[in-house]
Structure 1
Amino acid sequence: MKALNGNMDYPIYIHTLSRDEAMEWIMDEYGESLKRFIYTYVKNKAQTDDIFQDVLFTVYQKIDTYQGRASFKNWLYQVTANKCKDYLRSPFHRIFIWKEEITGVVSDSTPETRYLLDEQKRSVIEAILKLPIKYREVLVLQYYKEFSIQEISDLLKVNPSTIKTRIMRAKEKLKDLLKEDFLNE
């Protein structure tokens, strides 16, 4: 198991592990990163945890379907993105949002996040979360998850030139949002 921890992407080794060992490795290597990725979609900690469990269950069931055509990391993030999009399309999501609006529940960052992030970083994150999902996801995948344009294109099943355009537009929208935030202070 220690040999796996040295490399973040082991498509060959993953098939030599038992399902339980593979899941343990996935949680160690990608768990927190996947949770942060999910949070960028749903913006709610409780829903993030629920979707993360659903992702793990799906990966557990389908890990032997991974064929190595894309990197294992890309496959894992594709499963996660699809689960997030399924959730956002679901009626449950709309009910949950409606309930939050009525009860006034706001999903703030966790205390540890507030402790670790200074005010400027928090402003940038909040601005990113205000972006429409198609812009938010490309920024997160490129700058936080360090995916290449081609990997993002493969994951989202969108033309690479469209990805580049979305990144450009996302940056413009982000610049406008941040300008507004700093002008309002």
Structure 2
Amino acid sequence: MEKHYLHHLTPGFDRSAVLEDMMTEFGEDIWNFAYFLTRRRDAADDIAQDVFLIAYNRMYTFRGEASVKSWLLSITRNQSLKYLRNAFIRRTVLMGAYRAEGSTASAEQVVFERIASREVWETVIKLPRKHREVLLLAYHYQMKMDEIAATLDLSEGTVKSRLFRAKKKMSELLREKQEGGKDDG
């Protein structure tokens, strides 16, 4: 259920109650999107907290031009990109391991595993970020092209082009994997 009352908030309104509603309704989506972009659980935890802190501080500036979910996903994307641009992170993070042994799967991973085989998920995570994010927004979050364009601050044509290329690359990678047998690493 989308909360449209945010653009009607006035100073003095209980922002804590609104924040709690947003965290309950969108918290899992925010964490999953941050994880999907950064491929790190610890980063997703930090980014999700930052997103809700930013949303809390900017709540009165929400204009209602996009859905609350799109607004929060835009903040999440921006925070994730900021995290990825950090030179220390780029130099020190090994991208090979996605899940520590003994840890549980993220909700996002569970959903993808139910929808498709593990091979598909592993293939999606190997795509460049710009392709991963359009696939996730289009197919998991079921956002419309104009919403994805607004979330990513791109034109609809660019979103369509990226989505086309992402699907084409997925097909190529899955075909290569099938032809080459099982890829263990």
User: Shorter chain as normaliser: what TM range?
Assistant: 0.7 to 0.9
The Cα shift of 1:112 comes to 4.1
Q: 1:80-109, CA deviations, whole angstroms, 9 ceiling, x for partnerless residues? A: 111111111112321341xx37xxx72227
Aligned to 2:71: 75
Between the aligned partners of 2:18 and 2:120, the Cα distance in structure 1 is 35
Alignment check: 8 A CA contact 1:38 1:81 kept = yes
Give 1 or 2: higher helix fraction: 1
Rounded to whole Å, the distance in 1 between the matches of 2:115 and 2:73 is 29
The amino acid that maps onto 2:104 is: P
- Of the three residues 9, 12, 22, the one matched with 2:3 is 9
Q: Secondary structure at the match of 1:69?
A: coil
Q: How many angstroms apart in 2 are the aligned matches of 1:44 and 1:149?
A: 27
Name the counterpart of 1:4: none
Assess if the C-alpha contact under 8 Å between 2:146 and 2:156 holds in 1.
yes
Distance in 2 between residues matched to 1:55 and 1:96, nearest whole Å: 24
AA partner of residue 85 (structure 1): L
- Give 1:133's aligned amino acid: R
CA contact (8 A) 2:6 2:62 kept: no
Contact 1:11 1:71 in 2 (8 A): no
Summarize the Cα distance change of 1:119–1:32 in structure 2 as closer, same or farther, 3 Å threshold.
closer
1:14–1:111 distance in 2 versus 1, CA, 3 Å: farther
Matched residue type, 1:180: E
Structure 1 residues 139 and 77, CA, compared in 2 at 3 Å: closer, same or farther?
same
Counterpart residue type for residue 161 of structure 2: T
Task: Tell me the CA shift for residue 144 of structure 1.
Answer: 0.6
Correspondence for 1:129: 125
Q: TM-score, normalised by structure 2?
A: 0.83
Q: Which moves more between the two structures, 68-77 or 16-25?
A: 16-25
What is the TM-score normalised by the length of structure 1? 0.83
Residues 175 and 25 of structure 1: CA distance in aligned 2, closer, same or farther (over 3 Å): same
- How many residues end up aligned between the 2 structures? 174
Among 104, 111, 131, the alignment partner of 1:111 is: 104
Give the counterpart of 1:61 among 57, 66, 72: 57
Distance 1:81 1:11, change over 3 A: farther
1:151 aligns with 2:142: no
Please report the RMSD computed on the Cα atoms of aligned residues, expressed in angstroms: 2.4
1:63/1:120 CA distance change after superposition, 3 Å: same
Identical pairs, percent: 32
Determine the structure 2 residue equivalent to 1:163: 159
CA drift at 1:33: 1.1
Instruction: Kindly provide the CA deviation profile for residues 16-44 of structure 1, in whole angstroms up to 9, marking residues without a partner as x.
Output: 75121111111110011111111110111
CA contact (8 A) 1:77 1:155 kept: yes
| Structure 1, unpaired ranges of 5+ | 1-6
Give 3-state SS (helix, strand or coil) of 2:163's partner.
helix
